[in-house]
Structure 1
């Protein structure tokens, strides 16, 4: 039997041992390949997506690939760590360290080759579903038909075969020789009772508390200024949380005899501090990677919600026609299109007059015009007395209104002056600032420096009807004279959808990778748990008690970093809401809730197979 055949048989005869590494590698390839199928689709070629979106997709592909490299490298390192005893037995049989390195290289290349092929084939199976999902998510007018993704196949093969080759060379090169007794014993050697440093434990609490406080206190653009220091402080606090604070809490619980000796708590907490200490780096990495996924997807989803609501606020009318000069022909085209679509509603028209006041081009509207448009959207009418005026600020938007305040005095052609003492928040007319004056005073104003015809319709018809009407009008009228709130929301979602879709892809990679990190870490301790619970079962541990202990132990190890990541994510999304002055409670709850549900389902799957392995060993 050749050495290559030996490496292949070693994989084939130990399928359970190699399955986790193979499946995680296969999934990584599949995600990258499905993204490439989407990115290289002919319908999304040049001219279909703008340059910024194209650049974003290429950047996302690079991020996925780079992260895949480190993910596969970590998976391989964890896999090799769990095989120390196997390497010791091979050395006992006379295998040299050089041969072990060569065996590891061959095994990794074999697994990498089949994982790459399997990921591409699995991606082809789900390609149509991915394209249908992308078609709806991207708000595309054309269909993303199925095609054979030759370029995506070629790119995935080259990239991942090169990736597995580089990792195989690197891992086999850095694989260090150890004493034979260390390899044979594996992780059985005692490391001593882990202890926590009290100062570092307090530092963990202070760092996390100050980081959270800094993130939650600042408002507006201060959130951006505080981003880097807050991230650094919370990152350091998270590391100390798992390396020091968790060990300190467990030791305190173990000292409480009423708690430690209750039922099966002794079995649960006996070596939990060891495992928390050993897994601290993994838990830290899982918490930070998951926080990145939560925050990225939550930010994208929250920003879409914010942009949609801001657009609806900025365009309160169903349809608006605005042009420099009134055109009876254009108005007739609009009314005919509305009539054909069966859309009815109220309407109002006026001429928006602009004046040079204090060196600023400012609109002044008469009271009757303002009240008609206010009634159109259900706002209260304005009543002004003789010689009185009002400054109107556009209501609802936290940004775009900053600037030098308007003059409170309006001069009339007769030499009189109106005093604008009132300030009103309204969405009746466009513009961040403008004046409203009584009709009689408006007639005494000097000639305007500019004027525009403005006509608005208000209807409760469904969005798809208005979208069809606006598309028809855009084809018949000059550009930028007709707009609709539904059309503006549609256009915003169409431009933003590729960004959200790409962000979801990247976030998915981060999230699944975090779950895989936990999976590897738990299964590295599987052999030790088999021996431990096998010995305890001989003392009378029932199957029901075994299930409870394993469930509690796995839940603590599995959800400790996830809960920390959920708290980090909630704080990050709250800070985002403070930056936009926009409530993101619903969006945050949806994103974090979906991730939590997925993680709970993943936990039950892992728990089922892990418990089955333990029970089979002690049966």
Structure 2
């Protein structure tokens, strides 16, 4: 029998171990190839698909993520497989096989799996590329379908890149095999395990790190998130590592000292075996927990941004259509009536309208390096009318005071604190006001020439603007329609119908809404494929970790049967242990993601819990399905031992 024949027999005989690794590798190759097929598509490179540049950079970033992730995943998987085969290598050495021959055997096996995974991945990628092109074409709203072409460069890049990745990692993992002595290899699986120990200091460190990370995430704001991001990631990762390596052992050892629970039914066997299983698998569970947190956080963020598209656009454009008029009753007033007529002719139903007149005044934002900008000075009642239309609460301003209104809700900077002096000028005359604080979120479209407002008492405003020439005034006209989402064609005809001088001050919500929706849809679509890859890989890590220990579990299965335990009781013990191994890291990752959602909500100034819970629900369901399939295959293999 040649080494190549032996390699094929080993792969075939241990297929239950290799299947999860093979499927994960195949999926990685498939996603990489699909993205590469789009990136190297002739129409994309030539620029014929004009909107392709919107997703090109995102896909390139995903390609790098897939390669980096695949490197560490394959490295971990191959290292884990080799550790479980020390006894086999010891027997081969005992029969006269040299270190070089063992290395060649492993190289042949891994090359065979690599070739199969790459071939299957490229084949499936070619099969699903057409569907991917159709989905991208729909999201990009291209005029004609994207041609189904498999660029040769995409094929060779995928094949050569992943083959080199597999081979280099295989050669690296073989370094340690030849250094072991025969006796060490033969006794590797028979070395008695000492009772897992833990350090109470490290347990306290785990709790402290997680508590600190959660606290910082819960109270994070836009102003501090850049400074807190690294400390949050560091403390949570460190806390998670010691949670599985130390705290899990401490909890189970504590359960062993609780007679009422420990000696009930089959708990004695379940807990006693879990102490060793969790300790042995601590690093795997740690990595799966971090992967789960990454998957849930990334998927949740993409989903939140997609679902919040309309709300964010409306926050920037409170009115579907708006016009700016400088200097009293002029062309814009005439254009407003013309605009309303055109909207009615195009099926737009007017919901309400707003007319807001004020005067621009200069202000200085000290928190932005003393930036010189302008704000619209408006009377209290006019501002309150706009606020009521938007469902907000009215404000009351005293004479000599002013409320600063910043148009963006997400801002974390307070430009004018309550009680501070606000220096400006009106018609060349100095004006000092007392700040009543700051409100975030405007009542006019932010694309207007002014970006913020100063709200004054009505009588004070009338006194300041008395005798002011009409040329100094500015009027904002806003129109809100109930069916603005269907206004694209009508808005284009409207812009063409208005006079040139009015067209310059025309702002419409629908354009930015469609652009944001397209971008968020593409981000969600592309990001979810990478998230699914991470999910498959995390489940695979748990799968082959279970099957690499199947021989020890088979021996325990036979021992429990000999002492009188029924198969039903053994299935219950095994099912409980496998379930804890599968769902414990998912639960920890979900808690991490929950605090990440809280931080995201703080940044967006909105509640994202219900969307985050939906993502967690889908992820849990998929994990349960993966668990059910794994448990079925595991129990079948266990009984055959």
- Bin for the TM-score computed over the shorter chain: 0.7 to 0.9
* Aligned partners of 1:350 and 1:369 also within 8 Å: yes
Counterpart among 208, 211, 236 of residue 209 in structure 1: 211
For 2:635 and 2:226, the matched residues in 1 are separated by 46
Which structure 2 residue ranges, 5 or more long, are not aligned? 365-371, 446-450
Counterpart among 249, 256, 277 of residue 258 in structure 2: 256
For 1:539 and 1:383, the matched residues in 2 are separated by 82
**Residue matched to 2:31:** 31
Q: 1:412: Cα distance to partner?
A: 8.5
* Aligned partners of 1:127 and 1:146 also within 8 Å: no
Say yes or no: does 1:468 pair with 2:489. Answer: yes
Say yes or no: does 1:506 pair with 2:530. Answer: yes
Structure 1 stretch displaced more, 169-178 or 26-35: 169-178
- The equivalences for 1:100-179 within 5 A come to 100-135=102-137, 138=139, 140-142=141-143, 144-145=145-146, 147-150=148-151, 151-179=153-181
User: Closer, same or farther in 2 for the Cα pair 1:19/1:307, shift >3 Å?
Assistant: closer
For 1:219 and 1:342, the matched residues in 2 are separated by 43
- The equivalences for 1:565-580 within 5 A come to 565-580=589-604
- The equivalences for 1:46-445 within 5 A come to 46=47, 48-49=50-51, 54-135=56-137, 138=139, 140-142=141-143, 144-145=145-146, 147-150=148-151, 151-305=153-307, 308-322=310-324, 326=331, 331=336, 334-335=339-340, 337-345=342-350, 346-349=352-355, 353-355=359-361, 361-365=374-378, 373=386, 377=390, 391=403, 393=405, 397-399=409-411, 402-404=414-416, 427-429=442-444, 431-435=451-455, 437=458, 441=463, 444-445=466-467
For 2:59 and 2:325, the matched residues in 1 are separated by 38
Q: Secondary structure at 1:364's aligned position in 2?
A: strand
For 1:111 and 1:424, the matched residues in 2 are separated by 63
For 2:68 and 2:431, the matched residues in 1 are separated by 67
Q: 1:181: Cα distance to partner?
A: 4.1
For 1:214 and 1:400, the matched residues in 2 are separated by 16
**Residue matched to 2:10:** 10
Q: Secondary structure at 1:94's aligned position in 2?
A: coil
* Aligned partners of 1:139 and 1:493 also within 8 Å: no
Counterpart among 473, 476, 497 of residue 454 in structure 1: 476
- Normalised to the residue count of structure 2, the TM-score between the two structures is 0.84
Which structure 1 residue ranges, 5 or more long, are not aligned? none
For 1:440 and 1:216, the matched residues in 2 are separated by 45
User: Closer, same or farther in 2 for the Cα pair 1:361/1:260, shift >3 Å?
Assistant: closer
User: Closer, same or farther in 2 for the Cα pair 1:97/1:315, shift >3 Å?
Assistant: same
* Aligned partners of 1:376 and 1:458 also within 8 Å: no
Two-structure CA RMSD over aligned residues (Å): 3.6
- Normalised to the residue count of structure 1, the TM-score between the two structures is 0.87
Q: Deviations over 1:106-130 (max 9, x none)?
A: 1111211121011111122222333
* Aligned partners of 1:139 and 1:497 also within 8 Å: no
For 1:446 and 1:271, the matched residues in 2 are separated by 86
User: Closer, same or farther in 2 for the Cα pair 1:176/1:448, shift >3 Å?
Assistant: farther
For 1:424 and 1:16, the matched residues in 2 are separated by 63
Q: 1:227: Cα distance to partner?
A: 1.9
* Aligned partners of 1:370 and 1:429 also within 8 Å: no
| Aligned residues between the structures | 614
Q: 1:104: Cα distance to partner?
A: 0.8
Structure 1 stretch displaced more, 239-248 or 577-586: 577-586
For 1:198 and 1:380, the matched residues in 2 are separated by 53
Q: Secondary structure at 2:579's aligned position in 1?
A: helix
Structure 1 stretch displaced more, 358-367 or 18-27: 358-367
* Aligned partners of 1:348 and 1:373 also within 8 Å: yes
Q: 1:568: Cα distance to partner?
A: 1.3
Q: 1:610: Cα distance to partner?
A: 0.8
User: Closer, same or farther in 2 for the Cα pair 1:222/1:39, shift >3 Å?
Assistant: same
